[in-house]
């Protein structure tokens, strides 16, 4: 766009220049013509003169070179005619001739005009163009200034930027401005009015209000008790569920898994009945998931655990069993593969497969009679199954409690396996059908399989997982539905009451409480001061004494340290316990004497003062003495540099700030800097601050959760920029900020905020326009 505009402007400019050039050219050409004519004439005359030189004064026909009134028919000029020229003739054309006037005018005009300047050279023109272009783009870009300012000052920016939605009006405002118009709405309103439903106040109908009023305290209490009970029951149930979730027993989980598998099968069957196509798909998915599992080395007894077990297997029966289990699992999976292949190869039938299976089972059973073979559980004969199922109920109490299959529980032993067997057959037949259909399809599908088998596999894994999850969730739902009918039955009633019971006027309560407290406190305040004041008055006299020396201290230091320590302090007189004899004055005096005697040797105060003096001396900055003995005077043993010289070369250390303990006689405060702590302090002022006080003020409030409420903590630690994961952050566009896109908006923006154009810009604009 800008390029276009630029081109346009350039064009305009060049046109202007051409226009300016035009008159100049015209004038130039005219003057040249005149010059040429003169020259020719002269040249002609010269030629004539030369030709006349050779003596033969030949008469030559005069050539007519200018217009004359008399034109002879012989083409003879007036020159040779010998007529005399009269002045009047000369003056005649000067008079007024219309044709010359115009020329004159033109001439005068040309003369009056100054000479037009030369066109600017290329560089300058380019510079001007650049300037103009810059101004224009600067104007265009200036529309972003407020946006940038806003973003810089914003406490938090959330990317990707979302357009600000218009503020949502509160529902009540919307409702008040709204009226039923359509017949449907009117009908609904009629209904509502008929039942005296609250239209505006969505809280309580009159009926409800009445019922509420009618409810007595006892009733309310009962309701509440019921509610509480229900809630308690629910919480118990939840706790139980949570506990069960945490159970680590392998056996329990095995049983659970089995139950889940059964459930899955059942559901699958149902699905098959309802929607065979979907069932087929699901089946395929399951099958593929199986395949995936088979590909892994999970049950190949090659892991760390398996190896360790293999070492132990010689001696440990359990280890052997575990190994066996693993192997059997593996076998089960591999067996599946065989089955699949068989079904592919020989479409014969299920009997064969079963025949194939049975001996295996037998073998297995013979091989390890210790326990039931897990992979055979599905297809083994009824007696083994029964044995398994009979074992189950003993371990299943929890399972039953969980309510996975309560209804099944009664008719379980026989019916279950029948279902299972049927299931198996059906599945097989289904698969066959599916495969047939697959065969019918061209090899394209296979190609895709080959090429993107990896992708498919991964997809399948996901799908299978989803499937499993679905099953689980469905199961959980079912179980929860199964076991909480009690709770649910009771719930509807609570739902009506709960809000009322919960929505106790808390705020009022607290405020009232506060007010009450305030009242009480008023009373207390009235009551309290008296005893306190009395106490203070009684205490005042002794209190004054220890205070007095403190005041003095500020003025004269060090002197009354003695005072400070030896001030007579009041002794405790009112000890309630009778064993403590109250000291009488003389006893006290005795004691003090004793103490004095005991500590006669060590004058604590003098020692302390000495220590303090030393500390003060040590902390003072030292003067530097640069005198060199022997320079500029006599040197030698026993000679000391003169005082004058010493004074001259002594560099006095600057006096430091006054000591903190200057006025505190009984204290020595260490003035040394704690370097280790200083290492943790800020030592460089950040940008906008010029004085450390300013910066300190901004870091004085702690932001940790230890010192703040949770809300405040979160507010103080909100990140400056928040990005949504997985979203592309596009550069900001005009539409995002509420501007119309397109070139026109630029102008409008500029007009809208003319202040944005700085004075410099204005100057440039003016300049460019002048140019």
Region 592-631 residues binding other proteins, contact defined as CB under 8 A: 595, 598-599, 602, 604-605, 607-608, 611
Nearest-approach distance from CB 184 to other proteins, in angstroms: 23
Cβ-based nearer residue to other proteins, 111 or 246: 246
Contact residue for other proteins among 344, 370, 516, 735 (CB under 8 A): 516
Distance CA 731, CA 160 (A): 9
Which residue in the set 182, 525, 751, 759 belongs to the binding site for other proteins (CB under 8 A)? 525
Nearer to other proteins by Cβ, of 352 and 513: the residue is: 513
580 binds other proteins (CB under 8 A): yes
Applying CB under 8 A, does 702 fall inside the site for other proteins? Answer: yes
Q: Which SS3 state, helix, strand or coil, does residue 721 take?
A: strand
**Which CB atom, from 605 or from 750, has the smaller least distance to other proteins?**
605
Residues 6+ apart with CB under 8 A from 493: 223, 226
Give the shortest CB-543-to-other proteins separation in angstroms: 7
In the region spanning residues 624 to 683, those forming contacts with other proteins, defined by CB under 8 A, are 660-661, 664, 666-670, 672-683
| Residue of 191, 225, 356, 565 that binds other proteins (CB under 8 A) | 565
Q: Are 625 and 595 in contact (CB under 8 A)?
A: no
Which residue's CB is nearer to other proteins, number 40 or number 515? 515
Binding to other proteins (CB under 8 A) within 208-237 occurs at 212-213, 215-217, 220
The nearest distance, CB 214 to other proteins, in angstroms, is: 9
String of b and e for 114-144 (b: at least 16 CB within 10 Å)? Answer: eeeeeeeeeeebeeebeebbebbeebbebbe
Q: How far is the CB of 655 from other proteins (least distance, A)?
A: 17
Q: How far apart are CA 419 and CA 382, in angstroms?
A: 12
Is residue 429 close enough to count as binding other proteins by CB under 8 A? no
Q: Are 230 and 490 in contact (CB under 8 A)?
A: yes
Cβ 664 to other proteins, closest distance in Å?
6
Nearer to other proteins, 600 or 643 (CB): 600
Q: How far is the CB of 612 from other proteins (least distance, A)?
A: 8
Are 571 and 588 in contact, with CB atoms under 8 Å apart? Answer: yes
Round to whole Å and give the CA distance between 756 and 732. 20
* The only residue of 82, 397, 444, 505 in contact with other proteins, by rule CB under 8 A: 505
CA 584 distance to own-chain centroid: 77
Toward other proteins, which CB reaches closer, 488 or 694?
694
With CB under 8 A, what is the number of residues at the site for other proteins? 118
Considering the complex, what minimum distance in angstroms separates the CB of residue 542 from other proteins? Answer: 7
Beta-carbon neighbour count of residue 325 at 10 Å?
16
Cβ 729 vs Cβ 160: under 8 Å: yes
Q: Binders of other proteins among 530-549, rule CB under 8 A?
A: 531-532, 535, 538-539, 542-543, 546
Residue of the chain from 156, 454, 700, 718 that contacts other proteins (CB under 8 A): 700
* Separation CA 23–CA 111 (nearest Å): 12
From 524, 593, 642, 748, residue interacting with other proteins (rule: CB under 8 A):
524
Q: Which of residues 16-45 bind other proteins (CB under 8 A)?
A: none
* 403 and 482 Cβ atoms separated by less than 8 Å: yes
Write down the least CB distance from residue 170 to other proteins, Å.
9
CB nearer other proteins, residue 20 or residue 699: 699
Least distance in angstroms from the C-beta of 494 to other proteins: 15
Q: Is 763 in the site for other proteins (CB under 8 A)?
A: no
176 is a contact residue toward other proteins (CB under 8 A): yes
| CA atoms in the 13 A half-sphere facing the CB of 402 | 23
Residue among 54, 117, 164, 201 that touches other proteins (CB under 8 A): 201
Distance, CA of 327 to CA of 299 (rounded, Å): 7
How many angstroms from the chain centroid is the CA of residue 69?
103
- Taking the CA atoms of residue 382, residue 384, residue 386 and residue 390 in that order, the dihedral angle to the nearest 10 degrees is 180
Within 10 angstroms of residue 5's Cβ, the number of other Cβ atoms is: 12
Contacts (Cβ under 8 Å, ≥6 apart) of 433 = 280
**Which burial class, exposed, middle or buried, applies to 339 when counting CB atoms under 10 A from its CB (0-12, 13-18, 19+)?**
middle
Identified binder of other proteins from the candidate list 698, 717, 723, 753, rule CB under 8 A: 698
Residues 116-175 that bind other proteins (CB under 8 A): 172, 175
Long-range contact set of residues 621-627: C-beta below 8 Å, sequence gap at least 24: 621/653, 621/654, 621/655, 621/656, 622/653, 623/650, 623/651, 623/652, 623/653, 624/650, 624/651, 624/653, 625/649, 625/650, 625/651, 626/650, 626/651
Closest distance to other proteins from the beta carbon of 698 (Å): 4
């Amino acid at each position: 766009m800008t390029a276009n505009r630029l081109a346009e402007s350039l064009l305009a400019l060049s046109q202007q220049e051409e226009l300016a050039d035009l008159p100049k050219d015209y004038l130039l050409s005219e003057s040249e013509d005149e010059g040429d004519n003169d020259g020719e004439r002269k040249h002609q005359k010269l030629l004539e003169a030369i030709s006349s030189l050779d003596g033969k004064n030949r008469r030559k026909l005069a050539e007519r070179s200018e217009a004359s009134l008399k034109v002879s028919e012989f083409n003879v000029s007036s020159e040779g005619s010998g007529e005399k020229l009269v002045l009047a003739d000369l003056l005649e054309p000067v008079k007024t001739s219309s044709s010359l006037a115009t020329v004159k005018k033109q001439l005068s005009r040309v003369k009056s005009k100054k000479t037009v300047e030369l066109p600017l050279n290329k560089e300058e023109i380019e510079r001007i163009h650049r300037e103009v272009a810059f101004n224009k783009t600067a104007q265009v870009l200036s529309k972003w200034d407020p946006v940038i300012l806003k973003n810089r000052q914003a406490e938090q920016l959330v990317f990707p930027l979302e357009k600000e939605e218009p503020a949502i009006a509160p529902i009540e405002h919307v409702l008040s401005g709204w009226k039923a118009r359509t017949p449907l709405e009117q009908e609904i309103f009629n209904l509502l009015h008929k039942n005296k439903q609250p239209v505006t106040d969505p809280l309580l109908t009159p009926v409800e209000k009445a019922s509420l009023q009618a409810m007595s305290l006892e009733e309310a209490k009962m309701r509440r008790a019921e509610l509480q009970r229900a809630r308690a029951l629910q919480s118990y149930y939840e706790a139980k569920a949570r506990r069960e979730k945490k159970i680590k027993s392998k056996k329990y989980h095995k049983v659970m898994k089995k139950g889940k598998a059964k459930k899955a099968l059942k559901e699958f069957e149902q699905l098959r009945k309802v929607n065979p196509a979907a069932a087929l798909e699901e089946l395929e998915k399951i099958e593929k998931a199986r395949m995936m599992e088979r590909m892994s080395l999970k049950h190949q007894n090659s892991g760390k655990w398996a190896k360790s077990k293999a070492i132990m297997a010689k001696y440990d029966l359990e280890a052997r069993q575990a190994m066996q289990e693993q192997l059997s699992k593996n076998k089960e999976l591999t067996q599946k593969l065989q089955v699949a292949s068989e079904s592919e190869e020989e479409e014969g039938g299920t009997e064969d497969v079963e025949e194939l299976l049975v001996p295996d089972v037998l073998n297995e059973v013979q091989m390890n009679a210790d326990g039931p073979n897990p992979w055979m559980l599905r297809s083994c004969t009824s007696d083994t199954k029964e044995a398994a199922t009979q074992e189950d109920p003993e371990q299943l109490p929890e399972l039953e409690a969980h309510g996975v299959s309560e209804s099944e529980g009664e008719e379980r032993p026989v019916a279950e396996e029948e279902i299972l067997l049927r299931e198996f057959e059906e599945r097989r037949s289904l698969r066959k059908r599916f495969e047939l259909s697959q065969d019918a399809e061209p090899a394209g599908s296979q190609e895709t399989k080959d090429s993107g088998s990896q992708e498919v596999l991964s997809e399948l894994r996901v799908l299978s997982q989803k499937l499993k999850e679905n099953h689980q969730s469905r199961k959980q739902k079912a179980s929860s539905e199964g076991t909480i009918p009690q709770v649910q039955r009771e719930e509807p009633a609570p739902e009506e009451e709960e809000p009322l019971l919960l929505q106790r006027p808390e705020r009022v309560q607290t405020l009232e409480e506060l007010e009450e407290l305030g009242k009480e406190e008023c009373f207390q305040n009235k009551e309290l001061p008296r005893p306190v004041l009395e106490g203070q008055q009684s205490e005042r006299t002794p209190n004054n004494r220890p205070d007095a020396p403190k005041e003095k201290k500020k003025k004269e230091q060090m002197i009354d340290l003695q005072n400070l320590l030896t001030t007579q302090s009041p002794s405790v007189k009112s000890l309630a316990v009778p064993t403590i004899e109250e000291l009488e004055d003389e006893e006290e005096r005795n004691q003090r004497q004793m103490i004095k005697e005991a500590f006669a040797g060590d004058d604590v105060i003098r020692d302390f003062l000495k220590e303090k003096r030393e500390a003060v001396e040590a902390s003072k900055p030292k003067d530097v003495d640069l005198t060199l003995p022997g320079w500029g005077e006599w040197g030698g043993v026993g000679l000391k540099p003169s005082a004058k010289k010493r004074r001259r070369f002594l560099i006095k250390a600057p006096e430091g700030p006054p000591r903190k303990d200057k006025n505190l006689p009984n204290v020595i405060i260490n003035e040394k800097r704690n370097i280790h702590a200083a290492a943790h302090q800020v030592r460089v002022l950040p940008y906008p601050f010029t004085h450390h006080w300013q910066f300190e003020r901004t870091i004085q409030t702690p932001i940790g959760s230890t010192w703040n409420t949770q809300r405040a903590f979160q507010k103080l630690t909100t990140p400056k920029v928040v990005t949504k994961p997985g979203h592309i952050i596009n550069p900001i566009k005009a539409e995002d900020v509420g501007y119309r896109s397109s070139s026109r908006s630029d102008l409008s923006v500029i007009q809208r905020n003319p202040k944005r154009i700085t004075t410099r810009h204005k100057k440039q604009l003016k300049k460019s326009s002048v140019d």
